[in-house]
């Protein structure tokens, strides 16, 4: 069954999937962005490095964004990327400084995949809060 989480373009991974960054390849500098493969499937990666996140998004034409009305006292609450051709009309563009300020304030991790198993670019990404075991 192909389930999708409501309001997202990211498939639901199911109850057996891990939300822990410890099962991903941690990338801390742009120089380490070489392909990381596990068998025939490219592993997901996780980073907090602003340069890596920005380069990943810009290679896909994605821009930092938020959901209109999700701000709280002028602070962003919902961080998204607006990918070309994916109906970003419902998203409000924000600048990178504002996006990263919220990312850092909430101590988020950026989980992403660079390429799909067939070698084509992947837009898979997720922002996660670290769990106790990851600190």
pLDDT tens readout for residues 107-121: 999 999 999 989 899
According to DSSP, residue 125 is labeled E
Average pLDDT over residues 79-106: 92
Average pLDDT over residues 3-17: 40
pLDDT at 8 over 80: no
pLDDT in tens, 56-69: 999 999 999 999 98
CA gap 46, 135 in Å, rounded: 14
How is residue 15 written in tokens?
């109850």
How is residue 13 written in tokens?
């991974």
According to DSSP, residue 9 is labeled S
pTM score of the predicted model: 0.69
Q: What's the pLDDT score for residue 73?
A: 85
């Amino acid at each position: 069954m192909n389930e999708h989480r409501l309001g997202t373009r990211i498939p639901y991974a199911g109850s057996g999937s891990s939300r822990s960054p410890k099962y991903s390849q941690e990338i801390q500098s742009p120089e380490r962005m070489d392909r990381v493969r596990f068998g025939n499937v490219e592993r997901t990666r996780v980073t907090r490095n602003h340069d890596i996140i920005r380069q990943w998004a810009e290679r896909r034409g994605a821009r930092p964004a938020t959901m209109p009305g999700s701000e709280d006292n002028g602070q962003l609450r919902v961080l998204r990327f607006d990918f070309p051709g994916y109906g970003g009309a419902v998203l409000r563009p924000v600048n990178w400084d504002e996006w990263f300020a919220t990312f850092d304030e909430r101590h988020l991790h950026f989980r992403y995949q660079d390429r799909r198993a067939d070698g084509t670019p992947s837009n898979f990404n997720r922002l996660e809060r670290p769990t106790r075991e990851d600190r």
